[in-house]
Amino acid sequence: MSKQVSLTPMMQQYLSIKEQHKDAVLFFRLGDFYEMFNDDALEVSKLLNLTLTQRVGSPMCGIPYHASRIYIARLLRAGKKIAICEQVSDVVPGELTERKITEIITPGTATGEDFLEQGQNNYLAAVSCTPKEITQDGVTDIFIGFAYLDVSTGEFFATSFPRASFDEQFRKELGHIQPREILIQMSLAESVPTLKVLCSEYPHMLQNLYPDWHFSAATAEKRLCACFGTETLKSFAITAASPELPPAGLLLQYLDQTTGAALTHITGIKVYRDRDFVIIDDATRKNLELLQNLHDSTDAFTLFETVNHTKTAMGARLLRQWLYQPLRTAGEIKTRLDKTAALYRKEKELAAVRTILADVLDIHRLTGRVAMQRAHGKDLLAIKQSLKACIELAKLSKTKKLFFLQLPEGDFRNMEQLYTILDRSIAEDCPIAVSDGGLIKPGWSEKLDELRSTLDNANKLLESYLEQERTQSGIKSLKIKYNRLSGYFLEITRGSLKTAEIPEHFIKRRSLTTADRFTTEALSQLEAKLNDAGENIITCEKELFLAVQAEVFDRIELLHLLAKEVGELDVLQSFAHTAVLHAWVQPEFSDSGIMDIREGRHPVVETHLPSGEFVPNSIVLSSAADPAIPAFALITGPNMAGKSTFLRQTALITLLAQVGSFVPAEKAVLTPVDCIFCRVGASDNLARGESTFLVEMTETAYILRNASAHSLVIMDEIGRGTSTGDGLSIARAVSEYLLHTIGAKTLFATHYHELAKLVHPRLKTLCLDVLESEGKIVFLKKVIEGIAAHSYGIHVAELAGLPQPVIQRATELLSAAIPDNSVSSSAAAAQDYTVPEKKKAAPEQNLFTDEELIINEMLSVNTDETTPIEALQMISRWKNTLLNA
């Protein structure tokens, strides 16, 4: 059989519809199933673990219609687009049923509750570039516009940046918002090859390429104005030349095409610049494990997990946003901190707020569904419950003189009104489908009540009619039954038929083995009456429901305001609760340039250790020209001494303070920072296809270009990814540059002890205390001034089971190379490592002696991963070097 012949009319219909939706998985309705064919079937059967079958030579798989939402949710999570094709004409045997695409569901545009993650935003993003160079903030370049929105909540954002910094900025934005789907300008993808590489880091993000003409500024302006109901976009800081305009416009057009719903809940767009918030670039985001850990990308052991005691989905989403967008100015920070403090101080009220908040549902997404006319009765009940809680919160705030939900009298009344409307109208046990009936409460509409009583009466009529026929015919077993196909009928069982005399006005409908079925004229009339009443009730309920929904929609601005206020309150109470729980303190802010953290703790590590086991540590740094306080702390200490923890806790305390949270310390006096950079040497990043050392250096270069005296720089073992000589030289040069040219507050941890010999008035050396007794070592996790005496590498090597001769030889070498371990006492050595005040023209050659390099290599050997053979080879290489020296 040739392929041509095997194509049934239905398959032809399938192929022609599929042709128009090549980029989507086509759900083709066939009776009670959605079927997928060909490549769709092959892919989806694998993704969803479905049985693959054949239909006239085509691979096929299917899912039951009633369970489709679960499967759709899973496909969306895998980054798939789904086109739903329904049967739109009645099914007539032997004829081809008409079918049409009724809905396109994509990961970035889905709004169904089962398709979304509760406490997370669901972003759809778009990126494009300006057609020619423009000048913005003094920079002339092609500019990249990046816009994103969450259609389920109506939140809409956009930003722009010069093409020269595309890689860092685009990576940062993607990392922060993790869109589910992105619309990409085709020519941008072609001219900037890294775009595809960066997107490929998010394999479940659906990518759609669009030709340039889709990014028209004029069309975009019209579409945005229409959506926001404004004449211009001036109030959103958007002009016709803004790079943000075209991608923002395309997002709305894309929603028009896919959802086809009204977007009235999208009432504005927030354009931001990098400088509006503390800059946290992608590497920093990852290294500090703010929202996702490095291990499995979940939120276990993250800062988010520690501070997230939010009670609402809005709060959880806002907390995620805030952690990536710490505030920059002392004024803004203080305002937020004062609110946290107000809740912190009133423990009783805090507890009350938390209890009430637990009753507030996702007002943002609920109103989104109302605006898109996709809400059902249960959604309105959820809004009602949330309103009740908001009214309680507002009352509490008023009587206890708190800061939240201070609504104008009119808004408050409006809120109560809406609550009353919803309370009186929507039945508590309402069904999801309007056609099931029972959506509206009795007493809400006279008309509906009347219709319902007609139906009730009709039922009574039916009963009395049956009674009448029973007495007249004398057939006691006579029953009135109903089924969907034939409606109401009278039934006489076989047994009774033998003895009974069938009345003349009984019209026989069917004869079954067990009984005969009849109808009568009177019964048909009754039935018509009943049907009418039923239908009228459904129609009436539908109308009433739409009217109630319109009441909600009329107050959408108020509901948005409530959603925003409740979200903020939730995050602030979460901060206050965390502070109570873990004994955190309110940080103070000044503009002195000083960062003074007394007895600080790591917010995450501490909470995962038994109480009291975490060793607190202090740090004072200043970026002001005041020479009395250094800007740069160089921290040495053996592996496992606690260096990395100390570094990160300093960054996390700074970040927490600038988002308005209390901090884990005894006291913290801070100056706002503009950027937080955190780099970790030798981090594996094979996914990006770059060597680890290249990544390390690229990331370091980025800091050196972008950090200022107001930044906080955390460098953990930078220079580890290369040979000792290179690594040490780079670490030193980077340190010098940070000290001289940038002057940022820096914490620099290193296992290169030589580096600790750097001398500079703005530099202080710290190390981690180690207790040595009877050949055993204990890491005290305490930061003290000075330089680590040993790296204890040989000690650790011995514990790891390196052969004794190797250990002995290493010990010999070590003592030969460093006769006096307290390096700082050696004046000559100090001289050698003193950093001149002016920048050096070129690095010196032979910065370190062979002995020093060998010792360094020895100390950085990972003994866990070294085989005895490798160890011997290393020793022989060292021997050669020393003999040839």
Q: What residue ranges bind ligand ADP (CB under 6 A)?
A: 605, 613-615, 637, 639-645, 781
Q: How far is the CB of 397 from ligand ADP (least distance, A)?
A: 40
746 bridge partner residues:
632, 713
- Helices 446-473, 521-554: axis angle to 10 degrees equals 160
In DSSP notation, 638-707 reads -TTSSHHHHHHHHHHHHHHHHHT--BSSSEEEE---SEEEEEETT---GGGTS-HHHHHHHHHHHHHHH-
Q: How far is the CB of 745 from ligand ADP (least distance, A)?
A: 19
Q: How far is the CB of 75 from ligand ADP (least distance, A)?
A: 40
Phi-psi region of 554 (alpha: psi -120 to 50; beta: other; left: phi over 0): alpha
If the CB atoms of residues 644 and 729 are measured against Mg ion, the closer one turns out to be 644
Cα 717 from Cα 741, distance rounded (Å): 21
Q: How far is the CB of 839 from ligand ADP (least distance, A)?
A: 30
If the CB atoms of residues 23 and 613 are measured against ligand ADP, the closer one turns out to be 613
Q: How far is the CB of 623 from ligand ADP (least distance, A)?
A: 24
Binding partner of 615, given ligand ADP, Mg ion, none, CB within 5-8 angstroms per partner class: ligand ADP
Binding partner of 641, given ligand ADP, Mg ion, none, CB within 5-8 angstroms per partner class: ligand ADP
Binding partner of 614, given ligand ADP, Mg ion, none, CB within 5-8 angstroms per partner class: ligand ADP
Cα 628 from Cα 272, distance rounded (Å): 38
Q: How far is the CB of 639 from ligand ADP (least distance, A)?
A: 5
Cβ proximity of 223 and 246 under 8 Å: no
Q: What is the CA radius of gyration of the chain?
A: 36
Q: Find all residues with CB under 8 Å of 694, minimum gap 6, and list them.
A: none
70: helix, strand or coil: helix
Q: How far is the CB of 298 from ligand ADP (least distance, A)?
A: 19
If the CB atoms of residues 567 and 681 are measured against ligand ADP, the closer one turns out to be 681
If the CB atoms of residues 644 and 671 are measured against ligand ADP, the closer one turns out to be 644
Q: How far is the CB of 685 from ligand ADP (least distance, A)?
A: 19
Q: Spell out a b/e string for 396-416, using b for 16 or more CB atoms within 10 Å of the CB, else e.
A: bbeeeebebbebeeebbebbe
Q: How far is the CB of 720 from ligand ADP (least distance, A)?
A: 12
Distances (CA, A) of 757 to 79, 159, 633, 637: 53, 45, 12, 14
Cβ proximity of 455 and 533 under 8 Å: yes
Residue 239 tokens read as: 């002009």
Binding partner of 587, given ligand ADP, Mg ion, none, CB within 5-8 angstroms per partner class: none
Angle at CA 82, nearest 5°, toward 77 and 85? 150
If the CB atoms of residues 602 and 757 are measured against ligand ADP, the closer one turns out to be 602
Binding partner of 642, given Mg ion, ligand ADP, none, CB within 5-8 angstroms per partner class: ligand ADP
Pairing of strands 632-636, 124-129: unpaired
Cβ proximity of 662 and 340 under 8 Å: yes
Q: Give Cα 138 distance to the centre of its chain.
A: 33
If the CB atoms of residues 374 and 667 are measured against ligand ADP, the closer one turns out to be 667
Q: How far is the CB of 44 from ligand ADP (least distance, A)?
A: 44
Q: How far is the CB of 774 from ligand ADP (least distance, A)?
A: 22
395: helix, strand or coil: helix
Q: How far is the CB of 608 from Mg ion (least distance, A)?
A: 17
Dihedrals phi, psi of 573, to nearest 5 degrees: -70, -30
Binding partner of 407, given ligand ADP, Mg ion, none, CB within 5-8 angstroms per partner class: none
Which is nearest to 858 in space by CA: 786, 785, 807?
A: 807
Binding partner of 391, given ligand ADP, Mg ion, none, CB within 5-8 angstroms per partner class: none
Q: How far is the CB of 819 from ligand ADP (least distance, A)?
A: 26
If the CB atoms of residues 636 and 711 are measured against ligand ADP, the closer one turns out to be 636
If the CB atoms of residues 558 and 655 are measured against ligand ADP, the closer one turns out to be 655
Which strands sit side by side in the sheet containing 617-622, from one edge to the other?
588-589, 667-670, 594-600, 617-622
Residue 160 tokens read as: 């722009």
If the CB atoms of residues 644 and 650 are measured against Mg ion, the closer one turns out to be 644
778: helix, strand or coil: strand
Q: Where are the beta strands (DSSP E) in 704-848?
A: 712-716, 745-750, 763-773, 776-785
Cα 592 from Cα 669, distance rounded (Å): 10
Binding partner of 88, given ligand ADP, Mg ion, none, CB within 5-8 angstroms per partner class: none
Q: How far is the CB of 726 from Mg ion (least distance, A)?
A: 20
Contact set with Mg ion (CB under 5 A):
644
Q: Where are the beta strands (DSSP E) in 45-98?
A: 53-55, 58-64, 82-87
If the CB atoms of residues 488 and 779 are measured against Mg ion, the closer one turns out to be 779
Cα 470 from Cα 472, distance rounded (Å): 6
Q: How far is the CB of 609 from ligand ADP (least distance, A)?
A: 6
Q: How far is the CB of 642 from ligand ADP (least distance, A)?
A: 3
Cα 682 from Cα 600, distance rounded (Å): 27
If the CB atoms of residues 179 and 664 are measured against ligand ADP, the closer one turns out to be 664
If the CB atoms of residues 781 and 795 are measured against ligand ADP, the closer one turns out to be 781
If the CB atoms of residues 61 and 714 are measured against Mg ion, the closer one turns out to be 714
Query: Counting every residue, how long is the chain?
Result: 885
If the CB atoms of residues 455 and 714 are measured against Mg ion, the closer one turns out to be 714
Q: Which amino acid is at 228?
A: F
Q: How far is the CB of 865 from ligand ADP (least distance, A)?
A: 16
Cβ proximity of 312 and 567 under 8 Å: yes
34: helix, strand or coil: strand
If the CB atoms of residues 605 and 734 are measured against ligand ADP, the closer one turns out to be 605
Cα 309 from Cα 451, distance rounded (Å): 49
- CB-based contacts of 624-629 (< 8 A; 24+ apart in sequence): 624/592, 624/593, 624/594, 626/593, 627/761, 627/762, 629/594
If the CB atoms of residues 35 and 606 are measured against ligand ADP, the closer one turns out to be 606
If the CB atoms of residues 434 and 734 are measured against Mg ion, the closer one turns out to be 734
